[in-house]
Structure 1
Amino acid sequence: MALRATIYKVELNVADNDRAYYGSHTLTLARHPSETEERLMARLLAYGLYVQSDEGLSFSRGLSDSDEPALWEHDLGGNLMHWLEVGLPDDRRLIKASGRAEKVTVLAYGRNVSVWWSGIKDKISRARNVQVYALDVAGTDALAALAERGLTINLNVQDGTVWASTDKGEATIEISHLNAAA
């Protein structure tokens, strides 16, 4: 018998001072049996960092479909506007995504980000629509510890730092732009 996804009900409150976006969202996330809570919470963080309204940005089938990102945004005509990856995708995946979407964003996390980045940065440099950010390890570990199946989480964003708080605790996630223009 196949394992089923675990369902998480989330009330997400975003106060993003960097984008001047403030909103509340009721979400249902499915955690794939092979997905860690760290990746689940990184996907939730990505949603909070890039949501602009209740329409547009959505979770894809993710791990269940290798041809889809963690999140994506389509315009009203169905055109793929934003491809959002979470984790350490390979260069071929990012080059392919850069041809399909107007904008590609990667939120890399984990202990091997620097090794991954050194191996991929030259290969994706020609894809001008790919932006890569790194989430600090301590921050994503603390964020994963906040995961609960019924979750109310507040994200406050300012100057590339995210403060996440729930009834269970708090996490501070530092975000660095890896391929920023020098």
Structure 2
Amino acid sequence: MALKATVCKVQLQIADMDRHYYADHSLTLAQHPSENNERLMVRLLAFALNANETLGFTKGLSGSEDEAELWDLGLDGVIAHWVEFGQVDEKWLRKACNRAKKVTLYCYGGRVVPVWWKANSAALARYQNLTVIDIPEQAVADMAKLFNRNMQIQCNISESQIWLSDATQSVLIEPEVLQQG
């Protein structure tokens, strides 16, 4: 019998002083059985960092190989922004860069990221529309502590520092940009 996704409801308040974006979002996130809390929280962080009226989650790990996990898809079918997570294969990123105007990869995983980046940075440098961001290992672990099935999260962004908070705790995230597209 196949395991079902865990449904998480999120009330997300965003105050992004860097982009002058201030909004509340009611999100429903499906956590795939193979997805840990850290990865789900990285997806939520990516949404907060790129939020706009048309940004949306797809079926993610359960979906089609022709879709991003998070994207800004226009009504005309043009992909304005394709967002991926982890240490993705260069061929997959090439496909995304050819289909979307902008692609962002959020890496996480601690010591694995520098090894992956060293092996792939030269090949990825040719993609002018690709941004690669590393989320520090401790920040990912701290974000996972905010996880529950009904979250109320405040996200404050200023000068490239991100604070994620709930009613009892706050997490500081200072991502490192490995490549700016």
TM-score if structure 1 supplies the norm length?
0.95
Match of 1:108 in 2: 107
After alignment, is 2-11 or 162-171 more displaced?
162-171
Q: Distance in 2 between matches of 1:3 and 1:168?
A: 31
Please show how residues 79-98 of structure 1 align to structure 2 within 5 Å: 79-98=78-97
Tell me, yes or no, if the aligned pair for 1:62 and 1:71 is still in contact at 8 Å: yes
Equivalent positions of 1:33-182 (< 5 A) are 33-53=33-53, 56-65=54-63, 67=65, 68-111=67-110, 112-180=112-180
Assess if the C-alpha contact under 8 Å between 1:8 and 1:150 holds in 2: yes
How far off is 1:66 after superposition? 5.3
Residue type of the alignment partner of 1:177: V
Return the alpha-carbon distance in structure 1 between the equivalents of residues 64 and 133 of structure 2: 21
Distance 2:34 2:143 in 1: 18
Kept after mapping to 2: 8 A contact 1:18/1:158: yes
Q: Secondary structure at the match of 1:120?
A: helix
For the residue of structure 2 that corresponds to 1:63, the secondary structure is: helix
Q: Distance in 1 between matches of 2:167 and 2:141?
A: 17
Q: Unpaired segments of 5 or more residues in structure 1?
A: none
Cα RMSD for the two superposed structures: 1.2
- CA distance in 1 between partners of 2:169 and 2:17 (Å): 22
Q: TM-score, normalized by length of structure 2? A: 0.95
Q: Once superposed, which parts of structure 1, at least 4 consecutive aligned residues long, lie more than 4 Å away?
A: none
Aligned residues between the structures: 179
Identity fraction in percent:
42
Helix, strand or coil for the counterpart of 1:102?
strand
Work out whether residues 130 and 180 of structure 2, in 8 Å CA contact, stay in contact via their aligned partners in 1: no
Distance (Å, rounded) in 1 between the aligned partners of 2:124 and 2:63: 23
> Whole-Å Cα distance in 2 between the matches of residues 121 and 57 of structure 1?
27
